């Protein structure tokens, strides 16, 4: 990859085979899949259940010094992030085994934690290996795997925001190779939509492979401007305001549909990809009410400045009643996918 950074080593293997070769390891898990797998895996030196990303909680877990020469994350986003924190804090090697493709956390080096309800990055750690167990991933609920498009589709809004910011000389300067990577991933995503909707082995490999490239590019660049923009900022503001934490890739897909509309950035194209991948992003599927939608927009401009988030469309246009009504109507035209709400 050269200038794009060296991607994390990724192997396709079964969890049992990988853990069997590690010796002594601290296993950081989500449940599911943990209790369904525990009986068929080599016993860990210690097990840490991941659920709380607050810095104070993570510091307490690390202070308990869970035993094991290697830290292994097994599960979804909180397992990956908690494992990163423990490996970073203790200087032990890290192996990541994502059990779903709903988030890119297994493929990024940034150690993200929550402080006062907001995500903060405290350090960096590079996994020795990311293990892709295709059968394990495919056994997870289909909607969680499909949600994996969120952190790829976010390139659509992120690139547009970055272009706006770079034109004003705000933040990281434009980087054409990074932008081209984002454009290619979006084109590939568009081609992979049937595989993703079906959660086929090819669909799973596409999502994991894309995360791997994005993770390497972000690590090399030292920022994630090309894949994180106002769609993430909207989601952060919504989560801060409501205390709700929808599936990350689902709320990010929602955010892409909403913010691309406000950007005037080919909004029908991105909504169609979300629909064809059968991703839950309709507000009714992910529990976003019209009231909370409006309240988030009322707070959004002050939120992004207070959090010192990158310059984006949020700083450039009026977020008035017309804009918010139009965005709500646009995202409400997405087909329902049978979500919980």
For residues 185 and 227, give the distance between their C-alpha atoms in angstroms, rounded to a whole number: 10
Which two three-digit tokens encode residue 246?
A: 């929808």
Alpha helices in 192-266 (DSSP H): 193-198, 201-221, 230-242, 248-263
Which is closer to Zn ion, CB of 61 or CB of 216? 216
Least CB distance from residue 101 to Zn ion, whole Å? 13
Tokens 């495919």 found at: 138
For residues 312 and 229, give the distance between their C-alpha atoms in angstroms, rounded to a whole number: 7
Is 250 a residue that touches Zn ion (CB under 5 A)? Answer: no
Which is closer to Zn ion, CB of 151 or CB of 213? 151
Least CB distance from residue 21 to Zn ion, whole Å? 31
Site string for Zn ion, 69-108 (x = CB under 5 A): ----------------------------------------
**Closest residue to Zn ion, based on beta-carbon distance:** 151
Residues in contact with Zn ion, counted by CB under 5 A, come to a total of: 1
3-state helix, strand and coil shares in percent for the chain, rounded to the nearest 5: 55, 10, 30
Least CB distance from residue 274 to Zn ion, whole Å? 15
Which is closer to Zn ion, CB of 22 or CB of 96? 96
For residues 95 and 15, give the distance between their C-alpha atoms in angstroms, rounded to a whole number: 11
Cβ atoms of residues 162 and 226 within 8 Å: yes
Evaluated on CA atoms 267, 187, 246, 299, the torsion sign reads negative
Spell out where 118-204 has E strands. Answer: 118-124, 129-132
For residues 192 and 135, give the distance between their C-alpha atoms in angstroms, rounded to a whole number: 19
Which is closer to Zn ion, CB of 94 or CB of 103? 103
For residue 32, whether the previous peptide bond is cis, meaning omega lies within 30 degrees of 0, is yes
Least CB distance from residue 61 to Zn ion, whole Å? 23
Which is closer to Zn ion, CB of 151 or CB of 310? 151
Cβ-based neighbour number of residue 83 at 10 Å:
31
Strands 110-115 and 118-124, by their bridges, are antiparallel
Least CB distance from residue 77 to Zn ion, whole Å? 9
Q: Which of residues 105-164 bind Zn ion (CB under 5 A)?
A: 151
Least CB distance from residue 42 to Zn ion, whole Å? 32
Of 153, 175, 167, 184, nearest to 266 by C-alpha is 153
Q: Which of residues 260-279 bind Zn ion (CB under 5 A)?
A: none
Least CB distance from residue 161 to Zn ion, whole Å? 14
Q: Which of residues 275-334 bind Zn ion (CB under 5 A)?
A: none
Determine the straight-line distance between the first and last CA of the chain, rounded to whole angstroms: 43
Which is closer to Zn ion, CB of 151 or CB of 250? 151
Which is closer to Zn ion, CB of 61 or CB of 212? 212
Which two three-digit tokens encode residue 70?
A: 């290697």
Which is closer to Zn ion, CB of 25 or CB of 240? 240
Cβ-based neighbour number of residue 120 at 10 Å:
12
Which is closer to Zn ion, CB of 27 or CB of 313? 313
Least CB distance from residue 30 to Zn ion, whole Å? 17
Least CB distance from residue 102 to Zn ion, whole Å? 10
Chain residues binding Zn ion by CB under 5 A are 151
């Amino acid at each position: 990859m050269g200038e794009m950074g060296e991607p994390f080593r990724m192997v396709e293997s079964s969890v049992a085979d990988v853990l069997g070769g590690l010796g002594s390891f601290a296993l950081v898990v989500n449940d599911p899949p943990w209790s369904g797998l525990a009986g068929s895996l080599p016993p860990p030196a210690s097990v840490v259940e991941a659920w709380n990303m607050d810095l104070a909680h993570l510091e307490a877990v690390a202070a308990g010094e869970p035993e094991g020469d290697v830290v292994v994350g097994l599960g979804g986003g909180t397992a990956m992030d908690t494992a990163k924190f423990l490996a970073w804090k203790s200087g032990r090697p890290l192996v990541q085994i994502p059990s779903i493709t709903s988030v890119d956390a297994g493929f990024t080096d940034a150690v993200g934690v929550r402080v006062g309800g907001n995500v903060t990055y405290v350090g960096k750690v590079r996994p020795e290996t990311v293990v892709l167990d295709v059968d394990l991933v495919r056994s997870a609920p289909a909607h969680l795997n499909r949600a994996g498009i969120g952190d790829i589709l976010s390139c659509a809004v992120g690139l547009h925001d970055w272009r706006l910011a770079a034109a004003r000389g705000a933040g990281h300067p434009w980087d054409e190779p990074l932008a081209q990577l984002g454009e290619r991933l979006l084109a590939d995503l568009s081609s992979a939509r049937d595989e993703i909707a079906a959660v086929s082995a090819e669909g799973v490999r596409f999502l994991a492979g894309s995360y791997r490239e994005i993770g390497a590019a972000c690590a090399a660049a030292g920022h994630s401007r090309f894949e994180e923009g106002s769609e993430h900022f909207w989601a952060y503001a919504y989560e801060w305001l409501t205390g709700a934490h929808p599936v990350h890739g689902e709320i990010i897909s929602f955010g892409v549909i909403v913010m691309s509309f406000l950007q005037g950035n080919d909004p029908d194209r991105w909504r169609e990809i979300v629909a064809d991948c059968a991703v839950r992003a309709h507000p009714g599927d992910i529990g976003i009410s019209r009231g909370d939608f409006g309240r988030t927009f009322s707070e959004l401009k002050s939120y992004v400045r207070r959090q010192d988030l990158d310059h984006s469309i949020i700083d450039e246009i009026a977020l008035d009643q017309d804009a918010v009504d139009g965005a709500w109507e646009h995202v409400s035209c997405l087909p329902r996918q049978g979500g919980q709400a």
